[in-house]
């Protein structure tokens, strides 16, 4: 299951997601949150009827930790109380922006049973952080990481981006070296993608597809360094409009592959999506086929069109009814 919290403290210059800055969307958070909990309850009823087993939960966005500790606790409890969690192998909460993390929130997340969090520096170069519009510095990232360890998290992922504007190969190497000293269980290295709707592209920056862009050297360094530090690559994907036509790679220590990430890449599982911008993907066994159900994209659409969106979720039942009928026919 994927749950979307489409709010962030500020908007990164490369962002193309539906996420809204809390400055602009503060008023929407509470009504959105209440409806989201209802959607999770409704989705659980459907999952039960269709006899689906929950294998992983991913609360992403946006930045889920823009919610307060009480909301985070309620959100996680809504999942725990409505789904059978005995089959769940991994529960991730993105805590992407270090400036949204505090002890109360981390404790609420861990106590609720979410065992994997992602703290995303993107870079530890403060000047680059400023250029890309993230309202935190590298020291906040390091403190947030220590705090997460103190609270007791045993699987911390950290995301980096190669090819950020004004970043250099030397500064990227320095970032990665410092991350390796922290020794998170997994590191995800993205390459900058110049999405059309991002502020970066709209301000006239163009995509560099030259194979020898600095990002290529950064990724080569990741390969050398992370392998030496005991990580292995466990998933890889490309998006459109990536610098140097490079890729995103998930690295992890043994036993710490992100299960949800693998399911998404392999398209082997049904994913039920809740929240604005979420997409449910229904997987037919032994087939390449995936049927998709789209939720409304923006929080205000989600709030205004909530009933219609729940009606769309009926398609999950129809899909599994048809599948059951088909299986009973071929099994005769």
Residues at the contact surface with ligand SF4, assessed by CB under 6 A: 8, 11-12, 15, 17, 19, 61-63, 96-97
Our CB check for ligand SF4 shows the closer of 19 and 157 to be: 19
- Name the 3-class secondary structure at 274: strand
Question: CA-CA distance, 262 to 302, in Å (whole number)?
Answer: 28
Quote the least distance from Cβ 284 to ligand SF4, whole Å: 31
Quote the least distance from Cβ 130 to ligand SF4, whole Å: 14
- Name the 3-class secondary structure at 100: helix
Quote the least distance from Cβ 241 to ligand SF4, whole Å: 15
Buried b / exposed e along 202-239 (16+ C-beta atoms within 10 A): eeeeebbeeeebbbbbbbebbeebbeebebebbbeeee
The total of other beta-carbon atoms located within 10 Å of residue 315's CB is 15
- The answer to whether the CB of 251 falls within 8 A of the CB of 188 is yes
Q: At what angle do helices 103-111 and 69-82 cross, to 10 degrees?
A: 10
Our CB check for ligand SF4 shows the closer of 24 and 103 to be: 24
Our CB check for ligand SF4 shows the closer of 54 and 277 to be: 277
For the chain, what is the largest distance between any 2 Cα atoms, rounded to a whole number of angstroms?
67
* Extended beta strands in the chain, E state: 2-5, 7-8, 20-21, 56-61, 90-94, 116-118, 155-162, 186-191, 232-237, 248-252, 273-274, 279-283, 290-294
Our CB check for ligand SF4 shows the closer of 186 and 270 to be: 186
Our CB check for ligand SF4 shows the closer of 97 and 313 to be: 97
Our CB check for ligand SF4 shows the closer of 42 and 298 to be: 298
Quote the least distance from Cβ 61 to ligand SF4, whole Å: 6
Cα–Cα nearest to 15, from 222, 155, 194, 225:
194
Our CB check for ligand SF4 shows the closer of 8 and 282 to be: 8
Question: CA-CA distance, 319 to 322, in Å (whole number)?
Answer: 5
Quote the least distance from Cβ 10 to ligand SF4, whole Å: 7
Q: What are the tokens at 317?
A: 């039942």
Quote the least distance from Cβ 203 to ligand SF4, whole Å: 16
Our CB check for ligand SF4 shows the closer of 17 and 33 to be: 17
Question: CA-CA distance, 189 to 174, in Å (whole number)?
Answer: 14
The total of other beta-carbon atoms located within 10 Å of residue 45's CB is 12
Quote the least distance from Cβ 63 to ligand SF4, whole Å: 5
Quote the least distance from Cβ 297 to ligand SF4, whole Å: 13
């Amino acid at each position: 299951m994927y749950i979307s919290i489409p709010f962030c403290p500020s908007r990164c210059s490369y962002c193309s997601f539906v996420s809204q800055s809390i400055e602009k969307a503060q008023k929407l958070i509470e009504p959105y949150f209440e409806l989201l909990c209802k959607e999770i309850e409704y989705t659980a009823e459907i999952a039960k009827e269709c006899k689906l087993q929950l294998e992983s939960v991913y609360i992403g966005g946006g930045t889920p930790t823009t919610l307060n500790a009480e909301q985070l606790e309620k959100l996680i409890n809504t999942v725990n109380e409505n789904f059978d969690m005995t089959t769940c192998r991994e529960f991730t909460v993105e805590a992407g922006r270090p400036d949204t993390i505090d002890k109360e929130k981390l404790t609420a997340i861990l106590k609720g049973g979410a065992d994997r969090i992602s703290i995303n520096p993107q870079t530890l170069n403060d000047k680059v952080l400023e250029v890309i519009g993230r309202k935190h510095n590298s020291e906040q990232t390091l403190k947030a990481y220590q705090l997460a360890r103190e609270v007791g998290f045993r699987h911390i992922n950290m995301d980096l981006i190669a090819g950020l504007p004004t970043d250099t190969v030397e500064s990227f190497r320095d970032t990665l070296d410092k991350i390796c000293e922290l020794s998170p269980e997994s590191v995800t290295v993205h390459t900058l993608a110049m999405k059309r709707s991002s502020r970066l592209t709209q301000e006239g920056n163009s995509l560099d597809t030259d194979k020898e862009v600095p990002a290529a050297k950064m990724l080569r360094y990741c390969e050398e360094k992370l392998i030496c530090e005991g990580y292995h690559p466990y998933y890889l994907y490309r998006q459109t409009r990536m610098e140097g036509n490079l890729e995103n790679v998930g690295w992890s220590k043994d036993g710490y592959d992100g299960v949800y990430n693998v399911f998404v890449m392999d398209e082997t599982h049904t994913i039920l999506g809740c929240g604005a911008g979420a997409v449910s993907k229904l997987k037919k066994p032994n087939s390449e086929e995936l049927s998709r159900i789209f939720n409304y994209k923006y929080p205000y659409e989600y709030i205004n069109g909530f009933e219609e969106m729940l009606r769309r979720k009926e398609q999950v039942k129809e899909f599994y009814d048809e599948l059951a009928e088909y299986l009973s026919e071929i099994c005769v």
